[in-house]
Amino acid sequence: MGLARLGMLVVVLGLIAWYVARNAEDFRAVRDISWSTLAAALGLDVMIYVYSAAAIVLTVHLFGPRVGGFEAMLLALLTRFGNLLLPLRGGAVIRAVYLNRKHGLTYAHFLAGLSAMLLATMAVSLACAIGGLGYVGWATGKMFPGVMALLAAGLVAIALTVVFRPRIGSAEAGGLRGHIQRLIDGYHLVSRHRPSLLGLLAVSGLHVITMAGIYALLLAGMGKPAPWGLLIVIVALGNISTVLQVTPGNVGVYEGMLAILGSLMGLAGPDILAASLAWRVLDTALILVAGPVSSFILTGKAMGPRR
Residue 22 within any structural domain of the chain = no
In a domain, 194, yes or no: yes
Query: What is the predicted pLDDT for the residue at 136?
Result: 74
Backbone angles phi, psi at 11, to 5 degrees: -65, -45
305 assigned to some structural domain: no
Q: Are 105 and 206 in contact (CB under 8 A)?
A: no
Across residues 205-223, what is the average pLDDT? 90
110 compared with 144, residue with greater pLDDT? 110
> Residue 77 has what pLDDT?
94
Structural domains counted in the chain: 1
Residue 307 lies in a domain: no
Q: In angstroms, rounded to a whole number, what is the distance separating the alpha carbons of residues 111 and 182?
A: 8
Handedness of CA 36, 37, 39, 43 (dihedral sign): positive
More confident residue, 203 or 193: 203
> Is residue 160 domain-resident?
yes
Distance CA 284, CA 249 (A): 10
Phi and psi (nearest 5°) for 192?
-65, -20
pLDDT confidence of 49, banded at 50, 70, 90?
very high
Instruction: For the chain, give the percent of residues with pLDDT over 70.
Output: 68
Residue 282 falls inside a structural domain? yes
- Per the structure, the complete domain to which residue 110 belongs is given by 33-299
Q: What is the mean pLDDT of the chain?
A: 77
Amino acid at 2: G
Q: Which of 302, 279, 275 is nearest to 26 (CA)?
A: 275
Helix axes 35-60, 69-85, angle to 10 degrees: 110
Q: Which amino acid is at 158?
A: I
CA distance 117 to 107: 15
**For residue 307, pLDDT beyond 50:** no
Residue 92, pLDDT > 80, answer: yes
What mean pLDDT comes out for the span 249-276?
Answer: 69
Lowest mean pLDDT among 13-22, 33-42, 105-114, 176-185: 13-22
CA distance 9 to 16: 11
Question: How high is the pLDDT of residue 2?
Answer: 46
- Residue 34: exposed, middle, or buried by beta-carbon count in 10 A (0-12, 13-18, 19+)? exposed
107: phi then psi, degrees, rounded to nearest 5: -70, -30
pLDDT, one tens digit per residue, over 123-155 is: 888 888 888 878 777 777 777 788 788 888 888
pLDDT band for position 214 (50/70/90)?
very high
pLDDT of residue 306: 40
Q: Which residue has the higher pLDDT, 75 or 194?
A: 75
| Residue 159 pLDDT | 78
What band does 271 get if pLDDT is binned at 50, 70 and 90? confident
Judge whether 262 lies within some domain: yes
Q: So what's the pLDDT on residue 87?
A: 57
Percent of the chain as helix, strand, coil, to the nearest 5: 80, 0, 20
Quote the pLDDT of residue 265. Answer: 65
What pLDDT band is residue 51 in, cutting at 50, 70 and 90?
A: very high
Residue 14 lies in a domain: no
